[in-house]
Structure 1
Amino acid sequence: MTVNGESGSTIQSVDRALTVLQLLARYGELGVTEIATKLKVHKSTAFRLVTTLESHDLVEQHTDRGKYRLGVGILQLAGATTAKLDLVQRAKPVSQRLAEIVGETVNITVLSGHEALYVDQVAGSAALQLHNWVGQRIPLHATSNGKVLLATVSGPRFDELTTGPLKRFTDKTVTSREALRAQVDEARRRGYAVAVDELEVGLTAIAAPICGADGTVVGSISASGPGFRITADRIPDVAAKVVAAGRDVSRRLGWHGH
């Protein structure tokens, strides 16, 4: 009974905290007493709620009148979402065109924690029984997208992202950090990464970086398909098209480099 009670209490607290954010979004600024009245809770409960939200920068206190308003943490959360949505929207026509040209599946990914996160996917004409990867995460060390994203980070960040054992998915998966670093260095030099049979036997993928307006890499674009279609002699041609697509998306995001 105690566990259930604690669970219910926790959910109620989360619900009240979210309601506080909605109230501040609606009214702009509110004092603790006003928040307590609108929530129909004791003033001490309202104070604990805003104090917790304040510790996460989700609300801030207006020093002149002691009232609370939404904090910069809200902007950071919204900004992260907006950036991903903007990337998807700007990349969509390019992804569709690339999928049409190469006939294979095109994916857009971003670095999320220690993995790559799929944020968009377009099926090519040759793709059959397509698995929808949007919203799913993939390992950095065993994928072309992951290697492109790893190629953009600093040495210490690379070590952090590849700490611990690298999981083996197939006989071709790179599980040595030294070998992975060499592949990532090569991807950085040539402007794209290739993964053949590394995540899944029979799957070949080629990825290139996408830059934001300031020139930093914000994501990657890839074309992937079965090895019998993306053969070794076809990889250079597909890679050139993927790299061109990455530059096109980058320009749409405001990048003016070469």
Structure 2
Amino acid sequence: MTSTINTETRQGRDVGVVQSVDRAITILEILAREGEAGVTSVADELGVHKSTAFRLIGTLEARGVVEQTDDRGKYQLGVGLIRMAGTTAARIDLVQASRPISKQLAADTGETVNIAVLVDDSALYLDQIAGAATLQPHNWVGRRIPLHATSNGKVLAAALDPDEVDELLPDLPPYTERTITRRRTLHRELADVRRNGHAVAVDELEEGMTALSAPVRDAHGEVAAALSVTGSSFRLDAESRAGVATLLVAAADEVSTALGWVERGS
């Protein structure tokens, strides 16, 4: 009997949560349609009491997706929502701009090509093109990987101030025997990345896997993403890496140009 009551209680809570989410989305749709609206009109359209509408709007306001207008009784979409939409649009633009270039790079190298962006303390993979030499490539899209143990991560970290890197990475956990775990070594490696224009990670995240990465810049010249070539350490040995790096850096610059970046002096 108790179990039945608990189940019914949980189901009731779940229904309430779903209903609240649906109402919150409806509020956003109302504000998008009307431009601005007051609590009374929102409550009327939702078919709820004013106190319920006020509580929902207050929650959205606290998260920055809704804000009050100069007329204190009305609300409009907040900059938080616009910022999220802008970030999503920027990532879509990045994938669309890089896709044909990534395909050509994968064809030229025979290896897997990925593009990643910085999210919190990790690199997030947005897109992947498998090369002909890769039999069963890892599907990295949507995965987050550590900054200190990957070539993409090093490129993204190299664009930050050293203090920012230390704040983002209070710990440097090992993944293999070759993972960088000393802070001084990491900063020396990031300095090399800035000087050389690309990063290399050999057996640092996984044994037998090597990756090279180069920065992709936006129209302002800021590092917006990292483009990488990943393959087996056997194929990407020291001799072959030099040729791959040349192709990679050229491809990353091509993506940057597609995003509006113009190199100084050109």
* Shorter-normalised TM range: over 0.9
Counterpart for residue 168 of structure 2: 161
Closer, same or farther in 2 for the Cα pair 1:157/1:3, shift >3 Å?
farther
Closer, same or farther in 2 for the Cα pair 1:162/1:62, shift >3 Å?
closer
The Cα shift of 1:239 comes to: 0.7
Q: 2:151 aligns with which of 144, 153, 167?
A: 144
Q: Give the secondary-structure state (helix, strand or coil) at the position aligned to 2:127.
A: strand
| Letter aligned with residue 201 of structure 2 | A
Note if 1:107 corresponds to 2:108: no
Q: How does 1:1-258 map to 2 (within 5 A)?
A: 1=6, 4=10, 6=13, 8-64=15-71, 66-164=73-171, 166-257=172-263
| Letter aligned with residue 179 of structure 1 | T
Q: Give the secondary-structure state (helix, strand or coil) at the position aligned to 1:163.
A: coil
Superposition TM-score, scaled by structure 2 size: 0.92
Q: Deviations over 1:150-188 (max 9, x none)?
A: 100012111112212x12111111111111111111111
The Cα shift of 1:61 comes to: 2.4
The Cα shift of 1:62 comes to: 2.7
Q: Deviations over 1:61-87 (max 9, x none)?
A: 232473222121111010110111111
Counterparts of 1:199 and 1:117, CA distance in 2: 15
Percentage identity across paired residues of the two chains: 53
Q: Give the secondary-structure state (helix, strand or coil) at the position aligned to 2:239.
A: coil
| Letter aligned with residue 30 of structure 1 | A
| Letter aligned with residue 183 of structure 1 | E
| Letter aligned with residue 99 of structure 1 | A
Q: Give the secondary-structure state (helix, strand or coil) at the position aligned to 1:238.
A: helix
Unaligned runs of 5+ in 2: 1-5
The Cα shift of 1:8 comes to: 4.6
Q: Deviations over 1:74-107 (max 9, x none)?
A: 1101011011111111111110111110110000
Counterparts of 2:230 and 2:189, CA distance in 1: 18
Counterparts of 2:226 and 2:124, CA distance in 1: 10
Closer, same or farther in 2 for the Cα pair 1:43/1:152, shift >3 Å?
same
Q: Give the secondary-structure state (helix, strand or coil) at the position aligned to 2:22.
A: helix
Counterparts of 1:87 and 1:223, CA distance in 2: 17
Q: Is the 8 A contact 1:162 1:177 kept in 2?
A: no
Closer, same or farther in 2 for the Cα pair 1:256/1:171, shift >3 Å?
same
Higher mean Cα deviation, 50-59 or 139-148?
Answer: 50-59
Q: Deviations over 1:5-53 (max 9, x none)?
A: 5555444323321221122223332221111111111101111111221
Superposition TM-score, scaled by structure 1 size: 0.94
Counterparts of 1:63 and 1:151, CA distance in 2: 42
Counterpart for residue 3 of structure 2: none
